[in-house]
């Protein structure tokens, strides 16, 4: 395998990893945001579930950060304009909205992954 082929293969892997990671982060973020609201409400009302608030809160923070860091990468890969990028970033603060957004762009993500897979297999 030549050095150029190795670089293309690594780049294709990075693209596929970024796109699939974005999907996973969008799905996780869509569920963790309402989960932290629910657990925080339970903690506020009953005074219990402090550990659950800490764990879910930390998980949400990590997933939220990953989602926001991957959003510009995915926007560049898919050729989004600023408006679409801003929508992708802002849906992260609305419960379940990342699920809806991910569902809307799933076709774009899958096509991009397939293009890179075909390019890798063709090279």
One digit per residue, the tens of pLDDT, for the chain of length 123 reads: 687 778 877 778 888 888 899 999 999 999 998 999 999 999 999 988 889 999 999 999 999 999 999 999 999 989 999 999 999 999 999 989 999 999 999 888 888 888 877 776 665
> Looking at residue 32, what is its pLDDT?
92
Q: Are 18 and 77 in contact (CB under 8 A)?
A: yes
Q: Backbone dihedral region of 47: left (phi > 0), alpha (psi from -120 to 50 degrees) or beta? A: left
Residue 40's nearest CA partner among 28, 26, 52 is: 52
> Looking at residue 122, what is its pLDDT?
65
> Looking at residue 113, what is its pLDDT?
80
- Please state the pTM of the whole predicted model: 0.84
> Looking at residue 120, what is its pLDDT?
66
């Amino acid at each position: 395998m030549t050095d150029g082929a190795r670089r293309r293969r690594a780049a294709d892997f990075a693209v596929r990893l970024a796109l699939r990671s974005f999907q996973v982060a969008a799905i996780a973020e869509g569920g963790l945001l309402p989960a932290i609201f629910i657990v925080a409400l339970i903690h506020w009302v009953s005074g219990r579930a402090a550990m659950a608030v800490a764990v879910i809160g930390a998980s949400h923070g990590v997933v939220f950060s990953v989602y926001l860091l991957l959003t510009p990468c995915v926007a560049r890969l898919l050729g989004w304009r600023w408006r679409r990028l801003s929508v992708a970033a802002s849906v992260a603060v609305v419960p379940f909205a990342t699920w809806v957004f991910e569902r809307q762009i799933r076709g774009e993500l899958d096509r991009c992954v397939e293009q890179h897979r075909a390019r890798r297999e063709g090279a």
